[in-house]
Structure formats: structure tokens, C-alpha cells
Structure 1
Amino acid sequence: MTPLVSAAVLLAAVTHASWNAIAHRITDKLVGFTLILAGGVLIGAVIAPFAEFPAGRAWPYLMLSAGIHLAYVVLLMASFRLGDFGQAYPIARGTAPLVVTLFAALFAHEVPDRWGAAGIAFTCVGLTGVAVWGMRGHRPNWAAIGAALATGLSIASYTVVDGLGVRASGSALGYTAWLMVLQGLAVPAYAVCFRWRRETVAVLRPVAVLGLLGAALSVAAYGLVLWAQTRAELAPVAALRESSILVGAAIGAAFFKERFGLPRIAAAGLLVVGIGLMLHTG
């Protein structure tokens, strides 16, 4: 994890938390994700002609990733509908790094050294602390927790699939563009054809600008992560990316009137230690 790669992933964390906050802010989750995904399709279609076409061996990964991303979107919508942003987002994102570490060892033969493992562990403890604090004093909403945990598993799955796929593609930009196109078609097509039909424009217009901003942030966030995965191992990138949890907690406090509190500050400290240990491997 070089400083340049780390900076790219941290920027991705900020943009990722921002588009998730936008998705949460839009009351009708289907409207929000339709705009974000359709906007991603448009951005990908604009970028694709100017980027190198992904190599043939990358396409099985692209197709598999598109399916996993669809499951991820459905689960994320359920998480946001059932739970608070400050709780659902940390659980969903916080469960992913450890699973990515396991999957990366199994499928990419990437086993972190002692510094990398320690950094991932500190990061996961910090992220878990944010999630646990979000449940303090409340009766557990098991439906929301279950949806968030399933979302985390889908995140870990597409992280590893895309890490292998972007390395096989020969072009991080081309892979990003085509992934946006492939993953973004199903939900908007369903919404337009089976839910809104002639009322589509009227339904989308009130939050169109906000949703398309979310789309631009989403593409930027994942494009940066895919680029980073071509230059660093999958597990440290995944762990560092999930610092978006703390950004999300700050957004929840600032815009959704959710408490931040000392436990989250302590979690931020652990996260900083984890980042330092991961940078030591570079």
C-alpha cells in the first residue's frame, strides 16, 4: 500500500459514503437507486469508447460481478429501508474486510504479512466498534441486521471478483466503464417497465439532480478502488476503503441528526492505527 494508492482509496471512501448518504436521503429507495444506477450506465457508456476494451478473460468476471452487484443493490435498499443509516451502513461495510481477507487468500493467493494482518485487524475492530455503538441502547432490529450482514457478504464477493477481473482486463478504466453499464441496467429497467411506466418522468424529476450526483460519486468511488486493486493486494484495499464507515457516521451526525459520540472517535483512532500498519507494508 503506497501513499498514492492509500490516498486514492481514502478519496474513494469519502465519495462512497457520500453517494450512500444520497441514496439514504431519497425516501423512495427504488427511485434513488434507479437514478444512481441509470446515471452510472450513462457515465459508463460515455467513457467506454475512449477506454481500452477489457481483455476477453475479464468478461466472465464482469458478468459475475454484475450479478453480485444486483444482489448487493437489492440488499442495500432493504438495509436502508429497515435500519438507520448510521447503523446499517457500518454493519454492511464493516463485515466485508475480514471476509475479503479470507476470499483473497483462497482465490487470489494473497496472504497478508504480519503488519498487513495487524492493520486489517485494527481497522476491523474500529469499524465494528462503530457498528456496535450504533446498536447501543436499542432493541436489536434483526431484520435490519440480517440484511446489512448479507450486504456485507455481497460486498466481499464482488470485491474479490472485481479485483481478479480488473487485473485480467488490462484496463481499469475500461473495466469500470463496462461494469457500470452491465450492473446498472436491471433495476432501472424493472422500475420503468413494471412499476412506473408512463409516470416515470414525474416520479424521478423531483430528485433527479440529487440522484445523478450520487451516480457520479458512485462511479468515481468504485473506479478509484478498481485502479487501486491493480496496484495493491485486495484485503488492505478493502479494509482501507471501509474507512468510509466513519465518513458515513459523520454524515449521519451532520445531516440525519444521528449521534457521533466518543466511541466513534475511539474507533477512528483504531482505524488510523490500522492504516499506519498497512502503510508499513509498502
Structure 2
Amino acid sequence: MSLAVLLAVLGAAFLHASWNAIIKIGPSKVGAMVILSVAEVPIGLAVAMTRPLPAAEVWPWVLAAGCCHFAYKSFLTFAYEHGDLSRVYPIARGAAPMLVALVGAATLTDAVSAGQYAGIAVLGAGILLMARGVFTSGEERRLLPFALGSALATACYTMIDGLGARVSGDAVAYVAWVFVADGLMFGLGMLLWRGPGLLRVGPRAWVMGALACVASYGAYAISIWAMTVAPIAVVAALRETSILFAVLIGWLAFGERMTRDKAMAAGLIVAGVVLTRI
């Protein structure tokens, strides 16, 4: 991997942690996520219009992915309402590849190596240590089920998107339509649930939501590009440095507590993810 690609992937990891931080900043986490979702629709349509329409058998995968993204965003938003970025993000981001590896070993034909099983064990230790910190630090415990729910939804859409893109044969078009489905489902769903007042916010909230959407799309686009010029497993592992970026952003930008156990847990989660991806 060249230095340019390495720096690009690290930039993508930073962007992913950054859009999560932007959602955390605002007074209404749900409102910020709705604005992000609204912005996803024109981006998805703009890309989709440059590609042929997917075949009929692809649409169930797109809809299933949209439903999983709805669950992912909902759980993640509620987790941020109850916990710190530096606590929620590592649990939600780290548990997902562990779940994919465990479920994939039983349901998919892809082989799981001894190193990957070792990664699952390290991941589990890191997540348990991070979750333990919630109890020992007197933090809001309701963040845990939401963070783990986000991880479960992430694992589901990861597997659905991987299989759906294979069925489609055109990953770019598939992802574009998933963006549209995701944006519409979450945006409309939350407006029906919480009411149109979510969108009655000041210009700053719209700017922050749009920035979060741009960062989200940029993180994804850079990662996909990198996978075309560098080994996929290496790119996937490097992306997980976003966990460390999120912990640092929470500590330096938001003044969240940085304990030895939290730093150690974040390191274990990153190490475990790397092992499961190589």
C-alpha cells in the first residue's frame, strides 16, 4: 500500500468518527440524524441516475438494507443521547465485526481462520472492558443496549449489503439505492414518530447535518476507492482506526473522561478488529 492510499484511508477513518461526533454535538441527536438522512437522498439519486436500474431481484436486498440502516441509526442516536462518544462508538463499531465473524462462520461459505477467531476473542475482551467502565464510572447504563443494538444492526446490514451487492453485480448502483432507501425510511419514520418539529431547527443544525452527511459519504467513497487499489483486508482493518479517532475526539473536543481502562479497551477493540480482517 502506497503512502497516499494509507493517508487516504486514515482520512476516511477520521471522517467516519467525525460525522458521529457531529451528531453528538447538537442538542437534538434525532434531529441531526434526520437532517443527515434527508441529505442522503439527493446524493444517492445523483449517483443512481448515472447507472442502469437494478434488476427486480435486487430490490428486496435494497429494502432489507434500508430497514437495517433504520435500526442502526435509531439505536446509535439513542445511545448518543445517553452516553459519551468515546464510550458508545467503540462498543457499537467494535462489536459489529465480531458479530459478522461469528454469524458468518455458521451461515456463510467464507472460511474463518484461527487468527480471525483470535481476533473475536480480543474484540470480546475489549468490548467487555469498555462496557465494564460504564458501571465503574457511574455512567448512564442505558447506553449499553442501544450501543449493542447499533452493532447488531450494523452486522446485519453488512452481511445484507455484501450479499446484495453480489446479487446486483453493480456495487455502485446498489449502494446508491441503499442510500436513497435509508434516507427515506429513517427521515420519514422519525418524522412520523417524533413529528415535523424535528426539522424546525436553525440554519446551524442544517449545516451541521449536511456536513455530517458529506463526511459520511466521503468516508465511504474513499474506502471503496482504496479497496480498488490496495488489498481489501488491509483497507478494512485500517478503517477501524476510526475507533481511536472517536476516543480522541471525545477526550480532546468534548472533555470526556479518559481513563486507563477506557484507553486499554479501545486499543483491544482495534487490535481485535484488525485480527478479524486480516
> Is the shorter-chain TM-score for this pair beyond 0.5, marking a shared fold?
yes
CA distance in 2, matches of 1:269, 1:83: 19
Q: Which residue of 2 is the match for residue 158 of structure 1?
A: 157
TM-score by length of 1: 0.80
Q: Is the 8 A contact 1:94 1:131 kept in 2?
A: no
2:100 is matched by which residue type in structure 1?
V
Residues 62-71 or 108-117, more deviating: 108-117
Q: Which residue of 1 is the match for residue 242 of structure 2?
A: 244
Q: Which residue of 2 is the match for residue 221 of structure 1?
A: 219
CA distance in 2, matches of 1:262, 1:256: 18
Change in 2 beyond 3 A, CA 1:274/1:77: closer
Extract unaligned runs of 5+ from structure 1.
none
CA distance in 2, matches of 1:21, 1:118: 30
Q: Which residue of 2 is the match for residue 177 of structure 1?
A: 176
Per the TM alignment, residue 185 of structure 1 is displaced from its structure 2 partner at its CA by 0.9
Q: Is the 8 A contact 2:22 2:209 kept in 1?
A: yes
Change in 2 beyond 3 A, CA 1:268/1:149: closer
CA distance in 2, matches of 1:250, 1:56: 45
Q: Is the 8 A contact 1:90 1:128 kept in 2?
A: no
SS of residue paired to 2:112: coil
SS of residue paired to 2:64: helix
> Superposition pairs for residues 1-282 of structure 1, below 5 Å?
11-126=11-126, 128-133=128-133, 135-138=135-138, 141-190=140-189, 197=196, 202-223=200-221, 232=232, 241-267=239-265, 269-270=267-268, 273-274=271-272, 277=275, 281=278
Change in 2 beyond 3 A, CA 1:239/1:128: farther
CA distance in 2, matches of 1:41, 1:154: 21
Change in 2 beyond 3 A, CA 1:118/1:53: farther
Per the TM alignment, residue 195 of structure 1 is displaced from its structure 2 partner at its CA by 5.5
Extract unaligned runs of 5+ from structure 2.
none
Q: Residue by residue, what CA displacement relative to the aligned partner does 1:45-101 show, whole Å, maximum 9, x if unpaired?
A: 111122454444432211101011111212112111122222222222222122111
Q: Is the 8 A contact 2:90 2:266 kept in 1?
A: no
Residues 7-16 or 215-224, more deviating: 7-16
What is the percent sequence identity of the aligned residues?
36
Q: Residue by residue, what CA displacement relative to the aligned partner does 1:151-185 show, whole Å, maximum 9, x if unpaired?
A: 21111111111111122222222122111101101
Question: Could you say what the CA RMSD is over the residues aligned between the two structures, in angstroms?
Answer: 3.5
SS of residue paired to 2:138: coil
Aligned residues: 276
CA distance in 2, matches of 1:273, 1:91: 14
Q: Is the 8 A contact 1:80 1:88 kept in 2?
A: yes
Change in 2 beyond 3 A, CA 1:80/1:270: closer
SS of residue paired to 1:145: helix
Change in 2 beyond 3 A, CA 1:219/1:257: same
TM-score by length of 2: 0.81
Per the TM alignment, residue 219 of structure 1 is displaced from its structure 2 partner at its CA by 2.1
Change in 2 beyond 3 A, CA 1:254/1:203: same
Q: Is the 8 A contact 2:94 2:273 kept in 1?
A: no
Change in 2 beyond 3 A, CA 1:181/1:275: closer
Q: Is the 8 A contact 2:89 2:243 kept in 1?
A: yes
